[in-house]
Amino acid sequence: MARQVTTAPKRLRPSAKAVVVHGGRLLVTRNRTPGDDGPDWHIFPGGGQHPGETLHTTLVREVREETGIEITAGPLLWIRELIIANRPERGELNPEEHALEFMFSCELVADRGDAHEEDQYQVSVEWISPDELDGLRFYPAALVPSLRSYLAGGEPGPVYMGDVD
């Protein structure tokens, strides 16, 4: 059973994340928390939705900014909530935030290689093989079984994942 917050988060943050597979490899960003001696962590590229933007517009903009890669946004694969107050071990995150992530299947259009607005924790952009997932600190970790199925050509599993990390 998921932990429940005792105080309500003050900010709901919708975002769009890109699941881009090209040549059998998955696009991720490698990230590092300053002062954290733990391993780097990996996530799908993407970011916060601006007022007036559709999620697809957000996705294309954020991926271009963070990676220099141009994509076309496809169908919705997964929805994940992250109520950060439920994750005190994730001290680098704002406990007043409730993240709502929409993860979409995307197609690579062009790799211009000129990321210009990397996130504050972003170290690099990487294309990883599905086999590399086991050795990575990947978020959301709860998604890995569904992601593996999707990458193998199977069903992506349930769309709604709940409050998972």
CA–chain centroid gap for 145, Å, is: 15
112 is a domain residue: yes
pTM: 0.89
User: pLDDT for 8-18, tens place per residue?
Assistant: 778 899 999 99
CATH code for the domain of 89: 3.90.79.10
104 inside domain: yes
Which stretches within the chain are classed as H helix?
Answer: 55-67, 144-151
Tell whether the model's pLDDT for residue 1 goes beyond 70.
no
Give domain status of residue 5, yes or no: no
Count of domains for the chain: 1
State how far the Cα of 159 lies from the Cα of 97, in Å rounded to an integer. 22
Residue indicated by tokens 């050509």: 153
Q: Is residue 3 part of a domain?
A: no
Residue 90 falls inside a structural domain: yes
Token code pair at residue 14? 């919708």
Return d(Cα 165, Cα 163) in angstroms, integer: 7
Q: Which two tokens stand for residue 128?
A: 């990883």
pLDDT digits (tens, 9 = 90+) for 35-71: 888 899 999 999 999 999 999 999 999 999 999 999 9
- Residue 48: give the domain boundaries: 11-163
